[in-house]
Amino acid sequence: MVHRVSLQAVLAALLAVTLVAGCGILRRTHRVPDDLIPVFRSAATAYGILTPAQLAAQARVESRFDARAVSPAGARGIMQFLPTTWADFGLDGNEDGVADPLDPRDAIPSAAYYESRLAEQVSHLPGDRVSLILAAYNAGPDAVRLAGGIPDIGETRAYVTKVRSWANTFSDQL
């Protein structure tokens, strides 16, 4: 008896084997872009609040590392700054004379700086410090303070969980 296998079935099987074996077809989505690694490291060192992997995880959750991302709410760039937050916390991280939320070399250190301010605002609250900072980044520090911790907002709770998960994924790379 002769078995005929379609090309489609062979390709599906190869794709499955490749994914299971981790041969890299989808791996790029699970890695920090190489050119941003020193930026995450530098920002984490400068402000000492989140680790490079945690900052990279935020960028992954916020924009999937897309520096041109714009949300329906008007948040912009790799770290998704709202214009009002950028006006208060945006830095010229690459020292080119312009603080631009669409430039990762400005946005990443700005996020680390902003989180250093958020850390101060939520320092008196009980709970995990990093989770409180992430919640404040997502929902705003007032929402976290009013809730006495991570607010019962589904999006915010999911955000904290996703960032922590991606940070674990990126910890070996950073």
Active-site residues, by number, are 62
Measured distance CA(59)–CA(63) in Å, rounded: 6
CB 99 within 8 A of CB 106: yes
Report which DSSP code applies to 35: G
Which of left, alpha, beta for 161 (phi over 0: left; psi -120 to 50: alpha)?
alpha
Which of left, alpha, beta for 96 (phi over 0: left; psi -120 to 50: alpha)?
alpha
> For residue 25, what are its two tokens?
């077809």
CB 44 within 8 A of CB 109: no
Best CA proximity match to 35, nearest among 3, 69, 80, 67 = 67
